[in-house]
Amino acid sequence: MIELPLTSRRDELLSLGRDLQLPVRVYRGAARRAGAPLVLHLHAGAFTTGGLDSGELVARLLAEAGAVVVDADYPKGEGQVFPAALTQLDALLRGLHRRRARLADPDSALLVAGEEAGGNLAAALALMARDQGHGRLAGQILIGPMLNPCLGTASLRAAEAGDADCRWAQGWRAYLGPCEDADHPYATPACTQRLAGLVPALVLSSADDPMRDEALAYARAMRQAGVIVHQALLPAPSGWPCALMHPLPAPAAQPAWVGALRQRLGDFLSLFLPGRTARPQPA
């Protein structure tokens, strides 16, 4: 059995200005290479639950795959309707760009990654970065992203979800609330009509993921808009997205999807090392 390199982590608060601070946990893999990408990671939790502990599995896999990872505990739950979390995360992304030399390397590429509700926020940050034109963001990683509040896909029905009382319906109500911007593309990325110009994307789902259909539809729409898209459907059973919020099992106990996810993350992140370029896969 091959033992994976140890990953270090530390907790801290990053200042966002105006007396705002966001809790983060920083992960570094032992096998990190020079110029390793810096990744802002956003956990799952249907906009209502989750935190630094529930984001650990994906954050560790990103670190093992070669990134320096900043896992953020973004605002969620009651009173944190759109765009509260997104506004703070955009400020955090700007701060990470300024701190690249301290956190990783001066020329490290900056990416955003997230699963489920975190995938929604990651996709929205990529849209914002495109619209702001600042060039800070280099790539996006969307893992079973929660993108469409309609909750009418076949994959959601197969998971016996999508009714008014399911966790994702409740999560959308908490996130969108009564706000007039509920159909804003930053709030519901699946509904945007303008995807051209986005940074390269890795879109991952699993065969039994309730978010599978909206993830694949978003990948297809980005590709049709000319965005560089890498995508994969990982093996079932996965138990996503809940399984993504559990601790990373010991190597001998890891299901097949863990190794597949680690490999896909590593392949994509390697494209952002110095001298490499993110390139499209064949459709």
Query: In this predicted model, what pLDDT tens digit does every residue of 247-270 receive, in sequence order?
Result: 999 999 999 999 999 999 999 999
Residue carrying the six token digits 């990325």 = 189
Q: Sorting pLDDT into bands at 50, 70 and 90, what band is 160?
A: very high
| HSE value, Cβ hemisphere, 13 Å, CA-based, for 257 | 22
Strand extents, DSSP E, 6-107 = 7-17, 20-29, 38-42, 68-72
Give pLDDT, residue 8: 81
How far is Cα of residue 192 from the mean position of the Cα atoms in its chain? 18
What pLDDT, on a 0 to 100 scale, did the predictor assign at position 60? 95
The percent of the chain in helix, strand and coil, each rounded to the nearest 5, is 35, 20, 45
CB atoms within 10 A of CB 268: 25
pLDDT for 2: 34
Specify the CATH number for 7-270; select among 3.40.50.1820, 1.10.10.10, 3.90.1300.10, 3.30.390.30.
3.40.50.1820
pLDDT at 10: 85
Per-residue model confidence (pLDDT) at position 275 = 80
Report pLDDT digits (tens) over 32-84: 788 999 999 999 999 999 999 999 999 999 999 999 999 999 999 888 999 99
Buried-state track 159-177, b at ≥16 Cβ within 10 A, e below 16 = bebbeeebbbbebbbbbbe
| Residue 71: alpha-carbon gap to chain centroid | 10
Strand ranges of the sheet holding 68-72, from the earlier edge strand across to the other edge: 7-17, 20-29, 68-72, 38-42, 110-115, 139-143, 201-206, 229-234
- Using DSSP's 3-state secondary structure scheme, residue 110 falls into strand
Does residue 5 have a pLDDT over 80?
no
DSSP state of 160: T
Tell me: the pLDDT tens digits for 174-222?
999 886 667 899 999 999 999 999 999 999 999 999 999 999 999 999 9
Could you read off the pLDDT of 93-126 as tens digits, one per residue? 999 999 999 999 999 999 999 999 999 999 999 9
CA dihedral sign of residues 54, 59, 64, 68 = negative
Could you tell me the pTM of the whole model? 0.94
